[in-house]
Amino acid sequence: MGWVKSGLSAVVLLSMCSMGCQNKLYDENKKLYDENKALRAQNDQMRTQPQPVVQTAPQQQPPPVVVSNPPTQPVVTQQPSQPPEQIGGLETDVNPQKGTTTIHLPSDVFFDPGQATLKQSAKASLDKVVAALKKQFAGKKVEVDGHTDSQPIRVSKWNSNQELSDARAKTVKDYLVAHGVEASRISTRGFGDTRPRGTDMAKNRRVEIVVMTGR
């Protein structure tokens, strides 16, 4: 009988050991399961959270290039505009292309209406023209051209504007010759109202002294 008891004791002991081992494995498995579950929960939480924005450092701009001695621009000095030339205080046109200098004598200043006699008050200006022809334009050919407006002559000894323009041109020539300008240099022409300067009647009534500077 003793061996039976010993066998029973061994069976019981083995059963207890087997149950203990099973309990230990259960506990370890449960611990691993819990740890795995916690890791999955933590992983899910990380996926649902917004990702932090990574700030990138701004790129450094290259420093500006400094020119130690920049080239200097040449200074352009504007020449003051020359006032229009006047001879004897009279309007004067210079045409380099044609080679002429034209002095305009307004008929209203130099002559009475319908007359070809020089006014005394106009002779001072004409004296300055004489001086220029003798010095500044010495030896140059001169044309004296008479012009009128288009109004017909009503009260005058001249029958037409053409005759009046001829007479006034000859009067100016006679004055220039009388004051020392060579007669051989001077020619006269009368154009009447055929060469107006514009719509201004006063400007159309004129005598022009044209100096041939290119000859």
DSSP 200: -
Position 18 pLDDT exceeds 70: no
Asked whether 133 and 181 are in contact (CB, 8 A), the reply is yes
User: What is this structure's pTM?
Assistant: 0.61
Q: How many residues does the chain have?
A: 215
- Residue that has been written with the tokens 């006014």 in this structure: 119
Residue of 153 and 2 predicted with greater confidence: 153
Q: pLDDT of 34-51, one tens digit each?
A: 777 777 777 777 766 655
Q: pLDDT of 90-117, one tens digit each?
A: 999 999 999 999 999 999 999 999 999 9
Q: Phi and psi for 81 in degrees, rounded to 5?
A: -65, 135
* 189/160 Cα distance (integer angstroms): 15
* 86/39 Cα distance (integer angstroms): 109
